[in-house]
Structure 1
Amino acid sequence: MKDHNFYGTFIEVAEDCTVTAAEIPKAKGDSKTVPLLQYELIANHPYRYTQEDVLFEVHAIRGGIPEEQRGAAREVFFSKGQPCLRTSSLGKRYGWGIHHDASGRVALYPVESEEYRAFLNDSSVKKVKAMRSSRA
């Protein structure tokens, strides 16, 4: 199976991100949105999960997949292409940079933070931008 993780990479906020300080995504009514679930998984457990873990966990939570079925469901989920965290609203709309460490595990950094700027200035870290929300 193909590895869908980034390693030693920092996802910068999108060029057209409108916030100057990171925001925590909100739920819609009683249901948690994809960005909120992604935020909670990563913010509550920095450098615990890989991109693949986050993408699948959100899918499993939203799909109500029971714990005992998640192994097989994960294989099916990744058997077809999945959008990476560059497409996440965390970087496109909410102002969060996403760092992938050397093991592929992820953590969030607010765009206004010193840590965010440090990643931008660190030549040993590969940088990619989150996808734009609109076409140029």
Structure 2
Amino acid sequence: MRVELNYYNTFIAVSEDCPADYGIVPPDKASGKTKPGIEYELAADHPYGYSQEELLFETYVRHKQIPPEERRLRGAELRAEFFGKSQACMRASMLPKKYGWGLHFNAEGKLALVPKESPEYSRFADGEVEGVTVLKAMRNKKA
């Protein structure tokens, strides 16, 4: 039995040791897109369009460059393989740990990026949005 990974009415603030003062677009590598780059692209292009599980899985198949035909034919099998292994949640993502992006999950569990420098980020991080639980992203280094 698989445990659901999604957050609802939750804001993930940047980690205490996040080096970014504002939201930064993760750079690509010469070899192509990085996982944080794919996460950013998906979330930025589709605010409140993905749940955590959907974003994690879509990032995985794009990073592994699994062709659309294989995804169509083996979609359920690929999902079962992916979620059959332990997956890190978005608190461990480089978006809030390194690149300065807060993550807001709405009542439907869909996420949107919130740049660290924005007034909206401050409202969420300071607990001013009623009904939203605030969590910190995981630290980059052990305390």
Name the CA distance, whole Å, in 2 between partners of 1:18 and 1:62. Answer: 25
The answer to whether the 8 A contact 2:43-2:112 is kept is: yes
What's the TM-score, normalizing by structure 2?
0.91
Deviation string, structure 1 residues 65-117 (Cα, Å, up to 9, x no partner):
23212222011111121000000000000000001111110000000101111
Match of 1:67 among 59, 65, 71: 71
Name the CA distance, whole Å, in 2 between partners of 1:2 and 1:18. Answer: 32
Q: How many residues align?
A: 136
Query: Which amino acid is 1:67 matched to?
Result: R
The answer to whether the 8 A contact 2:8-2:107 is kept is: yes
Query: Which amino acid is 2:117 matched to?
Result: E
2:29 alignment partner in structure 1: 28
SS at the partner of 2:139? coil
The answer to whether the 8 A contact 1:60-1:70 is kept is: no
Name the CA distance, whole Å, in 2 between partners of 1:80 and 1:30. Answer: 26
5+ residue gaps in structure 1? none
Instruction: Report the aligned-residue RMSD.
Output: 1.1
CA-CA distance at 1:122 after TM superposition: 1.8
Runs of 4+ aligned residues of structure 1 deviating over 3 Å after TM superposition are none
What's the TM-score, normalizing by structure 1?
0.95
Q: Sequence identity of aligned pairs in percent?
A: 43
Name the CA distance, whole Å, in 2 between partners of 1:45 and 1:123. Answer: 24
Name the CA distance, whole Å, in 1 between partners of 2:99 and 2:82. Answer: 26
Match of 1:125 among 123, 126, 132: 132
